[in-house]
Structure 1
Amino acid sequence: MVTTIITFLIVFSILVVVHEYGHFYFAKRSGILVREFAIGFGPKIFSYRKNGTTYTLRILPIGGYVRMAGYGEEETEIKPGMPIGLVINSEGIVTTINTSKKTQLMEAVPMEVVSIDLEKELFVEGYLAGNEDELVRYPVFHDATIIEEDGTEVQIAPIDVQFQSASLPNRMMTNFAGPMNNFILAIIAFTILAFIQGGVLSSDNRVGEVEADGIAKKSGIVTGDRILSVAGKKTDKWADVVAAIQANPDKKIDLEIENADGGVVKVIPVTPKSNKIDKEKTVGMIGVSPYVEKSFLAKITFGFTHTWSVMVQIFVGLGSIFTKGFKVFSGPVGIYAATDQVVKLGPMYVFNFLAVLSINLGIVNLLPIPALDGGKLVLNFIEGIRGKPLDPDKEGIITMIGFGLMMLLMIFVTWNDLQKFFF
């Protein structure tokens, strides 16, 4: 139980942090201010500022997020009449604005705000404590910081460093970078897995390990032989070989074999042994397994080929929405239940599970649904076609509708997972 919980939290956090780092990296490259990069959610435990970004560790160890300036991210609201503290340098320019009651700055000058603009004109105007007769106005430094109510210090977001000020290609790349990072993580994970295992299973019709005292061994089949056909049916792939042999339990059939050494083709008669794999299904087996490719190139390319293979399977699964409905989706509850199963199988299975989940997260985020990265990319494409962005208010409404639909889907999926795994 404890191991499953810890594994779930680690896996889920890795997936989300890697995803968010994609957005973070390309936003920074595009000149977009990333105000905060958070690991976890909830109250802050620790924070550190560097190059305009505040890095925070938060109490709930589930995922993380990035706050990009102007990216649907609300500036800390400072209203007229609100008391704040100002740190002013020797040139009379505000470098820090404190809105938190939890943080006290000895050098801060108390002010009651009358007017403030931290996006365009960069000023703050109000009455200093003890002098409500004289209205004072201070310029605000472009890279000034603001201490938010919970004590987190982040940089203010002038309009020139906001998301919408970046070029369209840069914004599109920033939106796509999260899912892209998930695909890269899967490629790396599958490649590492191939090296740890010492090789990868070949998908062609070559024979790998031959079971001692099995039917294949007795028939003279050796490692490296190719099974060209089974019972007259052509078998180019290992999946074809397995399907054809399993379909003929206790039946005498001919295998067309290409010899591993000289390439000589011969026909070998075998009778697959029947074996029950469940109460209702009996299959034939001859005691062979697929060939294991151990070359360096095979291990390197496996990360790419297997990632693509899993992506195709996921797209096929998504297509079944039209026949099976949204039951094909799993939420956090389903992921937790699956984590419990792979933890029992061992670390290698957990590693494989991480890669598959990463691909799932990348693909789901690319679905053309408002509030997801795919929905944002659709809006980017529309902007490119129109030659101008959508009205911010309309885009906000579309995003809110998408977010609402996502919440409804999450509730449905969670309920479905609860029924599937616990009832």
Structure 2
Amino acid sequence: MMKTIITFLFVFSAIVVFHEFGHYYFARKAGILVREFSLGMGPKLFGHQGKDGTTYTVRMLPLGGYVRLAGLNEEDELEPGMEVTLFIDENDQVYLIDLTEDGDYEALPVRVDYADLAEEMIIEGFPMGSDTLTRYSVSKTAQIKEQDGTLVPVAPIESRYESASVSRKMMTNFAGPMNNFILSVLVFMLVGFLLPGIPTNENVVGELIEDMPAIEAGLQTGDRILAVDGVEVSNWQELSTEIARHPGEAVNFQVERDGQAFDQSVQVDSVSHEQTGEVSGAIGIVRPQRTGFFDRVKYGFTETWAIMTGVVSALYHLIFRDFNLNMLGGPVAMAQMTGEVVDYGFIAILQLMAYLSANLGIVNLFPLPALDGGKLVSNVIEGIRGKPVSQEVEGIITIVGVAILVLLMLAVTWNDITRLF
């Protein structure tokens, strides 16, 4: 159990952090201030502000991570009525806004009446013990000490998400899923070099298993099977499906060897599957494999593409044909999958990571508010209109999207739990 938990946390966190790094990197390239890059969720354990202004934090719950982009789905730091502590330099500019309750005798406690930390860079408020409304100028390099002690920079308008061009916003939003696809390709490529050979989908005989019908019938490695019981087959999937349909039967195979086609009768064995009890046919041939350098490199791309197209197809059937929660899986299902593969070794864990990464990339591109796909739709609308959707409207849409996602996640998680029992 502990091995499964550790593996699950490692796999899930690696996928999410790689996703968030995509947003981080391209936001920086777009001139958008990244206020925080967090490993984990929940209460902060550790924080360090880099020279780039980004605060890097480690949080208590080791479940992925996130990046905070200045101006993107952020609430105002200061609201009327808030009690804050201001640190003012020799030029009468605020260089630190302390939102904690620690207090400092060298600082100035102020009750905020109005604040603009994007364009005007001012705070208006009442100093402690005074009824006089006072305006304070805020430096563009000022810092905000949040209630949990995290130090983040203020975000002047030129460094905020809303000031970036539409194309740079789109690249920033697309970069997360893109990184998931890159991770999937790289990990599957690594798997390709770790495997003894790369399985192909050709309708060709690979290795032959001793004392099984194929070798007894005289089939050889490299034979191409053209048809099974009169049904033409063009790939391994079709071949294995047709063989499975004839347990215990003598079946005619059309075979091609050295450019010559001939018929060969094969007595198909009956195999009973332990878990399901279903009986299917088998003749003792192994899927063909390739061992070339470029075959192993190509494996990273072909496997990732197969997963991406498979997820799109599944989502299409889920939405437009037959909605079934059993087609979806949440953290519980991911943990269960991890438990099933962890005993198979390092390669199986890598394959799971690549599979989940490609899944996360596609799902995040779904055009639903609060997902990267929803943000991309908003960017397209902004490009067409020539101006962004108002923050109020976008905030409402995001809240609705988050509510839908939370409800769906609760339903999926509950369904995953009930399926376990």
Whichever residue aligns with residue 54 of structure 1, its letter is: T
CA deviation vs aligned residue, 1:76-133 (integer Å, no higher than 9, x gap): 2254562403052x4443322222234x668645555554331112134556668x48
The yes-or-no answer on 1:313 pairing with 2:315 is no
Q: 1:214 aligns with which of 193, 212, 215?
A: 212
SS in structure 2 opposite 1:287? coil
2:297 aligns to what?
A: 300
Determine the C-alpha separation between the residues in 2 that align with 1:276 and 1:292. Answer: 26
Contact (CA 8 Å) 1:334, 1:421: kept in 2 or not? Answer: no
CA deviation vs aligned residue, 1:1-58 (integer Å, no higher than 9, x gap): 1111111111111121111111111111111111000111111111111201101001
CA distance 1:81–1:63, change in 2 (3 Å): closer
CA distance 1:81–1:304, change in 2 (3 Å): closer
Contact (CA 8 Å) 1:205, 1:235: kept in 2 or not? Answer: yes
Determine the C-alpha separation between the residues in 2 that align with 1:167 and 1:41. Answer: 30
2:42 aligns to what?
A: 42
Matches within 5 A, 1:88-167: 88=89, 90-102=90-102, 108=107, 110-111=109-110, 113=112, 115-126=114-125, 132=130, 137-167=135-165
> Unaligned stretches of 5+ in structure 2?
none
Determine the C-alpha separation between the residues in 2 that align with 1:248 and 1:137. Answer: 85
Determine the C-alpha separation between the residues in 2 that align with 1:106 and 1:218. Answer: 92
1:356 aligns to what?
A: 355
Once the two structures are TM-superposed, the CA of residue 137 in structure 1 deviates from its matched residue by: 4.6
Contact (CA 8 Å) 2:84, 2:98: kept in 1 or not? Answer: no
Whichever residue aligns with residue 19 of structure 2, its letter is: H
1:387 aligns to what?
A: 386
CA distance 1:79–1:271, change in 2 (3 Å): same
Q: 1:266 aligns with which of 262, 265, 272?
A: 262
Contact (CA 8 Å) 2:253, 2:264: kept in 1 or not? Answer: yes
Determine the C-alpha separation between the residues in 2 that align with 1:344 and 1:276. Answer: 24
Cα RMSD (Å) of the superposition? 2.2
CA distance 1:288–1:69, change in 2 (3 Å): same
My pick for the range that moved more, 228-237 or 161-170, is 228-237
Determine the C-alpha separation between the residues in 1 that align with 2:91 and 2:197. Answer: 66
Determine the C-alpha separation between the residues in 2 that align with 1:6 and 1:81. Answer: 42
2:244 aligns to what?
A: 246
1:71 aligns to what?
A: 72
CA deviation vs aligned residue, 1:330-373 (integer Å, no higher than 9, x gap): 11122222222122333222211111111221121111111111
Once the two structures are TM-superposed, the CA of residue 67 in structure 1 deviates from its matched residue by: 0.6
Determine the C-alpha separation between the residues in 2 that align with 1:297 and 1:303. Answer: 10
Contact (CA 8 Å) 1:39, 1:64: kept in 2 or not? Answer: yes
Once the two structures are TM-superposed, the CA of residue 228 in structure 1 deviates from its matched residue by: 2.1
CA distance 1:87–1:340, change in 2 (3 Å): farther
1:169 aligns to what?
A: 167
User: TM-score, with normalisation over the residues of structure 1?
Assistant: 0.92
User: TM-score, with normalisation over the residues of structure 2?
Assistant: 0.92
My pick for the range that moved more, 177-186 or 111-120, is 111-120
Determine the C-alpha separation between the residues in 2 that align with 1:49 and 1:83. Answer: 21
Whichever residue aligns with residue 360 of structure 1, its letter is: N
2:31 aligns to what?
A: 31
My pick for the range that moved more, 23-32 or 392-401, is 392-401
SS in structure 2 opposite 1:84? strand
The yes-or-no answer on 1:86 pairing with 2:87 is yes
Contact (CA 8 Å) 1:320, 1:328: kept in 2 or not? Answer: no
1:400 aligns to what?
A: 399
> Unaligned stretches of 5+ in structure 1?
none
Determine the C-alpha separation between the residues in 1 that align with 2:192 and 2:329. Answer: 27
Identity %: 43
CA distance 1:254–1:177, change in 2 (3 Å): same
CA distance 1:384–1:135, change in 2 (3 Å): closer
1:199 aligns to what?
A: 197
My pick for the range that moved more, 387-396 or 397-406, is 387-396
Determine the C-alpha separation between the residues in 2 that align with 1:390 and 1:124. Answer: 27
Contact (CA 8 Å) 2:79, 2:113: kept in 1 or not? Answer: no
SS in structure 2 opposite 1:288? coil
Size of the aligned set, in residue pairs, is: 417
Determine the C-alpha separation between the residues in 2 that align with 1:205 and 1:17. Answer: 40
